[in-house]
Amino acid sequence: MITHEIRDIKTGKLKSVKLTRASAIKYFCLECCGGDRECIRNCEDQNCPLYPFRPFKIRVKKPQKKGNLKGKFETLELFKG
């Protein structure tokens, strides 16, 4: 982690922040979109090298796989005896 000066979106003044890779990407996207998180969520600039890593994306939950419990219990029965 490094300390770096960035422009505060609200005040326009420089402020010192501790940056990680993730926070640097977040601050870059906020700067690009004028501080609007919704703009980042709806970003369509797929040519931006940071597009796949942009913050505030709408997360899509993947359906959970339901395993076949019957098969698991049958294998347990084999080891009992």
Q: Which structural domain range is residue 27 located in?
A: 2-60
pLDDT of residue 1: 82
Q: Is residue 68 part of a domain?
A: no
pLDDT at position 7, please?
Answer: 87
Cα Rg for the chain, rounded, in angstroms? 23
Structural domains counted in the chain: 1
pLDDT at 8: 86
Task: Give the model's pLDDT for residue 14.
Answer: 92
Is 12 a member of any domain? yes
Task: Quick: pLDDT tens for 68-77.
Answer: 555 555 544 5
Task: Give tens-digit pLDDT for 15-45.
Answer: 999 999 999 999 999 889 988 989 999 999 9
Q: Is 40 part of a structural domain of the chain?
A: yes
Residue 71 domain-assigned (yes or no):
no
Calpha distance 80→64 (Å, rounded): 30
Residue 21 within any structural domain of the chain: yes
